[in-house]
């Protein structure tokens, strides 16, 4: 049994196709098939049911894949141990970031991180929370930036910062005369939301469910971007909630439409998420150091307190 053979069976399990898996591993399909067959003969079991289309794992194959992933991860730790001993921070690092965080956070820290750690080759991908969990567990991401808690047993979380929610409402809105808003002011029928699938949307809906409800929506408006929600709000179609960092980039004329919450303000926890095996932990810690310092500095500069999420809400 070799690490290479385990890499091959993991690729086949993911692609459910020998040809695609071979392409991913940069080997010929016959070479991969031969190595997998050798492994099956050595173990005395079939890992894959080749009669099914797409190829499926046998029952024992599922257990083997689970263990193979652990072995491959642990083998990768050998290089990590050497790098940490040498104090080396470098190499490829695959990072996922959720859509409601990436546009505002990435420009804030990326240039500084590259300057401080030039030997790290960052590969960044925008992914939703479900994709992040799946890719970290499969070993296709080294870490991710997401809203937590995720409550995933195999993952660890390090909070980078707590980001307050901020209300955005047009001048004609029923809350326009208030200098600060409260959770009880919110009405789900009056809110413009991100489309389903965004964790920020889920946080807003949970927030509204904790407040009293009023009227049914006369029109249902959802969007994939905060920019669109702001434009719709400017047209008098309702209010929306924004993550604080997004408010730093809105037009100066629109800042008058912002309303902060009465403290304690609702907030979301933005965290670094990574596998419990802690592969490439030195780079993860470097990211945490750079991001936390920059974001906290930006929030303090704006004289806005960083607050914890309300304990009775899962945002």
Delineate the domains of the chain, giving CATH numbers in brackets: 3-82 (1.10.10.10), 88-160+270-301 (3.40.190.10), 163-261 (3.40.190.10)
pLDDT band at 272 (very low <50, low <70, confident <90, very high): very high
- Rounded to the nearest 10 degrees, what angle do helices 3-15 and 59-86 cross at? 120
pLDDT at 306: 47
pLDDT grade for 6, boundaries at 50, 70 and 90: very high
pLDDT computed for residue 8 by the predictor: 92
Per-residue pLDDT, averaged over 196-212, amounts to 57
- Partnered with residue 96 across adjacent β-strands are 125, 144
Pairing of strands 240-243, 155-168: antiparallel
Dist. CA 151–CA 76, nearest whole Å = 25
User: Whole-angstrom Cα distance, residue 152 to residue 154?
Assistant: 6
Return the H-helix or E-strand segment holding 213.
none
Name the band, by pLDDT with cuts 50, 70 and 90, for residue 266. confident
pLDDT computed for residue 284 by the predictor = 94
Between CA 11 and CA 33 the distance in angstroms is: 12
H-assigned helices in 178-259: 199-209, 226-234, 244-247
SS3 256: helix
pLDDT for 307: 46
Q: Which residues pair with 156 in a beta bridge?
A: 274
What tens digit of pLDDT does each residue of 55-102 get?
999 999 999 998 998 888 778 778 777 877 777 788 889 999 998 899
Helices 18-25 and 29-43: crossing angle, nearest 10°?
Answer: 110
- Give the model's pLDDT for residue 286: 94
Q: Tokens in use for 249?
A: 């980039």
Q: Is 90 exceeded by the pLDDT of residue 35? A: yes
Instruction: Pick the closest to residue 188 from 199, 202, 177 (CA basis).
Output: 202
Angle at which helices 3-15 and 18-25 cross, to 10°: 130
Residue 219's pLDDT is what? 42
Q: Which residues contact 51 (CB under 8 A, 6 or more apart)?
A: none
H or E, element range at 195: none
- pLDDT of 274: 95
User: What is the predicted pLDDT for the residue at 168?
Assistant: 92
Question: Beta strands of 129-279 (E only): which ranges?
Answer: 143-148, 155-168, 180-181, 193-194, 222-223, 240-243, 258-261, 267-275
């Amino acid at each position: 049994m070799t690490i290479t053979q385990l890499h091959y069976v993991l690729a086949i399990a993911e692609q459910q196709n020998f040809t695609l898996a071979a392409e991913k591993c940069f080997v010929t399909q016959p070479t991969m098939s031969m190595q997998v067959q050798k492994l099956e003969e050595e173990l005395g079991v079939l890992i894959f049911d080749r009669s099914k289309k797409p190829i499926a794992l046998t029952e024992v194959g599922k257990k083997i894949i689970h263990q193979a992933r652990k072995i491959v991860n642990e083998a990768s730790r050998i290089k990590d141990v050497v790098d940490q001993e040498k104090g080396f921070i470098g190499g490829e690092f695959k990072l996922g970031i959720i859509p409601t965080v990436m546009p505002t956070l990435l420009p804030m820290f990326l240039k500084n991180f590259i300057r401080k750690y030039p030997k790290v080759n960052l590969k960044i991908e925008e992914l939703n929370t479900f994709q992040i969990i799946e890719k970290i567990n499969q070993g296709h991401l080294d870490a991710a930036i997401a809203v937590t808690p995720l409550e995933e047993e195999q993952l660890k979380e390090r909070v980078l910062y707590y980001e307050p929610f901020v209300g955005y409402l047009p001048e004609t809105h029923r809350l326009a005369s208030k200098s600060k808003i409260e959770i009880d002011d919110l009405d789900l029928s009056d809110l413009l939301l991100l489309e389903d699938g965004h964790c920020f949307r889920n946080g807003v809906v949970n927030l509204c469910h904790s407040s009293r409800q009023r009227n049914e929506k006369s029109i249902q408006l959802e969007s994939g971007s905060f920019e669109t929600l702001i434009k719709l709000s400017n047209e008098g179609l309702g209010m929306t909630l924004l993550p604080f960092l997004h408010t730093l980039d809105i037009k100066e004329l629109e800042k008058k439409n912002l309303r902060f919450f009465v403290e304690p303000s609702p907030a979301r926890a933005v965290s670094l998420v990574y596998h419990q095996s802690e592969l490439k932990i030195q780079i993860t810690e470097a990211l945490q150091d750079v991001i936390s310092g920059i974001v906290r500095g930006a929030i303090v500069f704006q004289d806005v307190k960083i607050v914890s999420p309300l304990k009775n809400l899962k945002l």
